[in-house]
C-alpha cells in the first residue's frame, strides 16, 4: 500500500480532486469541489463532456488509457468516479499512486448483479427471489415460481437497459438469446407498492451519515420524480431502508457516496434492488433542500474531511428533465419555457450543459421546495404542466 493511501490526513482546499467521467454527475461534483476551494481534473474521452467544460483540467482519454490515467494521477491528489461502469482495474491502477474512493473492489461488485446480490445476502438484506443464469443449461433449472419475472443482464445495465419482462419459459429462452446469451439474473416479478432509495456517505474512518430516504417514481425504467418529506413513506419502512443501506456500505468497507435502491411491496415488505457507487439522480433534491448535498458528501469523503449528518430544511420534489421536453411538436427542437417555470416560487433549475437535446437523454432536473409538502406538490404540478410533463406525483 502506498503512503498516499495510508495517510489519514485530510486533503484540504487548494488541492486538486479528480473524477473519472465527465457527465452530469461529474459536472455537479466539479461545481461542488470548486465551491469548497478545490481545483478539479476530469478524465473523459468526450471533448464536449459537461464536466470537462467546467473543470480546471480535462484529460480527453479513454478510461483504460494508461497515459491518460498517469496524467490524472499526476494532476489530482485524490480521485473518484461519477459512474459505475468505469473499469475497476483502472481504479485499482490509480490507487497505487493516489487515494481512490470508492475503491475498485466495491465498484466491481456494483458492476455485476450476481456479485451484488450475493453481497446483499451476506449483509442480511432481502433480495427479490431470483436465479442466476450463466449458461443455457441453467434455463432448464429455473423454478416455475420465478415466472413471470424480469431477466436482467448481470453487467452494463442501467436506466432500464438490459432488462426484459418474461412470462413463460419460452419467453425466458428467447429473451436470454436476445441478450446475447450472457450471464443474467432472473428476478421474480413482485407486487410493488412503491420504490425508494437511500444515499449514505462513509468516510475513511468508518463514520457514516445518510440523507433521508427518498420515494421514487420511474417511467420506462428512468427516474421521473423523487419526493422527500416526512409523509413520503411510513416511518418503519424509512428506518428499515436506512439500516439496510448502512449495512450494505459497512459490509463493503465502503468509502464515498453510495445509493441503495429498494422495492417496497404491497404490505410493506422491503427488498433491495441494486446499488450505485456514486451520487444518484434520486439525491439531486439535496442540492436545494439540505444543508449538505450528496455532492458535498462526495467531496468530503474523497478528501477525508469530517462528515456531519445532513439536515433537510425543506420538503422537496425533484422532476427529471429528459430531452423529450425539447420536442413538443415533432422533430424540431424548441427550448422549454424556462422563464414561466422560474416565475414559480421555490423552483430551482439545474441544466447539465449538454449541447444537444435528444429524446430520453437526461438534460437536467427541477427541484421544488417550500414550507410544506402541499405547497410543493402544487408548484411541482404547475411546473410539470408548463413543461408538458405527463407525470403524476404518485402512482
Binding annotation: 113, 152, 157-163, 187-190, 195, 218, 273-274
**What CA–CA distances, in Å, run from 151 to 142, 158, 179, 259, 278?**
12, 13, 9, 22, 25
Burial class (CB in 10 A: 0-12, 13-18, 19+), 71: middle
**Which residues fall in the annotated binding site for ATP?**
113, 152, 157-163, 187-190, 195, 218, 273-274
Residue 369's closest CA among 321, 301, 314? 314
Burial class (CB in 10 A: 0-12, 13-18, 19+), 78: buried
Grid coordinates representing 99?
487515494
**Cα(339)–Cα(337) distance, rounded to whole angstroms?**
6
3-state secondary structure of 393: coil
Question: Over 34-80, what HEC string results?
Answer: HHCCCEEEEECCCCCCHHHHHCCEEECCCCCCHHHHHHHHHHCCEEE
User: How many CA atoms does the CB half-sphere of 387 hold within 13 Å?
Assistant: 26
Beta carbons of 86 and 19 less than 8 angstroms apart: no
Grid coordinates representing 271?
427488498
Amino acid at each position: 500500500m502506498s503512503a498516499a493511501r495510508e495517510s489519514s490526513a485530510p486533503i484540504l482546499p487548494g488541492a486538486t480532486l479528480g473524477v473519472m467521467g465527465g457527465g452530469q454527475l461529474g459536472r455537479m461534483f466539479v461545481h461542488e469541489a470548486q465551491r469548497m476551494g478545490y481545483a478539479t481534473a476530469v478524465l473523459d474521452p468526450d471533448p464536449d463532456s459537461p464536466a470537462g467544460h467546467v473543470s480546471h483540467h480535462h484529460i480527453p482519454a479513454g478510461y483504460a488509457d494508461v497515459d491518460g490515467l498517469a496524467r490524472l494521477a499526476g494532476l489530482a491528489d485524490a480521485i473518484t468516479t461519477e459512474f459505475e461502469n468505469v473499469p475497476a482495474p483502472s481504479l485499482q491502477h490509480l490507487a497505487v499512486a493516489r487515494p481512490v474512493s470508492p475503491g475498485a473492489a466495491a465498484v466491481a461488485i456494483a458492476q455485476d448483479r450476481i456479485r451484488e446480490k450475493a453481497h446483499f445476502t451476506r449483509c442480511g438484506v432481502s433480495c427479490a427471489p431470483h436465479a442466476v443464469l450463466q449458461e443455457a443449461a441453467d434455463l432448464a433449472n429455473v423454478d416455475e415460481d420465478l415466472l413471470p419475472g424480469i431477466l436482467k443482464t448481470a453487467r452494463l445495465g442501467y436506466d432500464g437497459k438490459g432488462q426484459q419482462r418474461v412470462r413463460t419459459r419460452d419467453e425466458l429462452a428467447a429473451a436470454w438469446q436476445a441478450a446475447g446469451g450472457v450471464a443474467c439474473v432472473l428476478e421474480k416479478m413482485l407486487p410493488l407498492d412503491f420504490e425508494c432509495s437511500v444515499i449514505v456517505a462513509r468516510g475513511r474512518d468508518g463514520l457514516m451519515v445518510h440523507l433521508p430516504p427518498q420515494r421514487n417514481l420511474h417511467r420506462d425504467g428512468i427516474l421521473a420524480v423523487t419526493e422527500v418529506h416526512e409523509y413520503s413513506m411510513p416511518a418503519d419502512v424509512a428506518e428499515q431502508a436506512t439500516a439496510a443501506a448502512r449495512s450494505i456500505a459497512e459490509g463493503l468497507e465502503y468509502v464515498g457516496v453510495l445509493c441503495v435502491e429498494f422495492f417496497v411491496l404491497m404490505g410493506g415488505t422491503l427488498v433491495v434492488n441494486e446499488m450505485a457507487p456514486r451520487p444518484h439522480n434520486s439525491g439531486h433534491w439535496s442540492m436545494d433542500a439540505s444543508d449538505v448535498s450528496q455532492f458535498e458528501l462526495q467531496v468530503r469523503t474523497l478528501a477525508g474531511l469530517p462528515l456531519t449528518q445532513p439536515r433537510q430544511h425543506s420538503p422537496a420534489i425533484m422532476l427529471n428533465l429528459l430531452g423529450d421536453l425539447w420536442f413538443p411538436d415533432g422533430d424540431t427542437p424548441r427550448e422549454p419555457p424556462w422563464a414561466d417555470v422560474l416565475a414559480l416560487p421555490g423552483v430551482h433549475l439545474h441544466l447539465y450543459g449538454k449541447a444537444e437535446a435528444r429524446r430520453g437523454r437526461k438534460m437536467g432536473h427541477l427541484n421544488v421546495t417550500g414550507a410544506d409538502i402541499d405547497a410543493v406538490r402544487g408548484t411541482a404540478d404547475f411546473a410539470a404542466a408548463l413543461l408538458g410533463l405527463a407525470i403524476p406525483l404518485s402512482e
